[in-house]
Amino acid sequence: MTEKEKMLAGLDYLAFDSELTQERLKAKQLCHRFNQAAPDDKTMQAQILNTLLGTVSEAWIEPLFFCDYGYNIHLGENFYANHHCTILDGAKVSIGHNVLFGPNVTLSTAGHPLNAEVRNTGLEFCKLITIGNNVWLGANVTVNPGITIGDNAVIGAGSVVTRDIPANTVAVGTPCRVRNSID
């Protein structure tokens, strides 16, 4: 099994494998082109996103945008990400329709072993992230590996999401906790 196959299967893998390193370089080149495109050249930006991302229809992403691979990112319709969005997509990232990200949102499917000896071997793991429809993530939200955020949820600015968030709730804090329901 290749390191890429291990990564996509959710197994521990070596991220600095030559194939994965080349794929990350390709994604970085596309992100660089996207980030350097003229602000009014939405056609060029859309072409780059269509090449970079796994699924994209109607998306407005403000530069600067960064990702690891791109092909594991699947965006629903009417997606908006404000400046400085980072998505580490070693595993699948599914984002529903009508989703808004404030500035500096980070989604990270990647994690590392807690044991230092194992971590020093270069092993890492990835767990998928799923964000439902009609979700709003405020400024500076971080979503950790393996998280699901339900439909219509609102995540308050500065939150670190370390556990699943149910649909129709407002959640805030570090760690992020549900504060109330949305009628």
The residues assigned a catalytic role are: 112
The upper half-sphere exposure of residue 117, i.e. CA atoms within 13 Å in the direction of its Cβ, equals 0
Question: Which strands sit side by side in the sheet containing 100-101, from one edge to the other?
Answer: 59-61, 79-81, 100-101, 136-137, 154-155, 169-172, 177-181
Q: What is the CA radius of gyration of the chain?
A: 16
What is the separation of C-alpha 79 from the centre of its chain, rounded to a whole number of angstroms?
Answer: 13
Angle at 63 between CA 15 and CA 43, to 5 degrees: 105
CA distance 100 to 173: 18
* Torsion angle (degrees, nearest 10) of CA 116, 122, 128, 129: 70
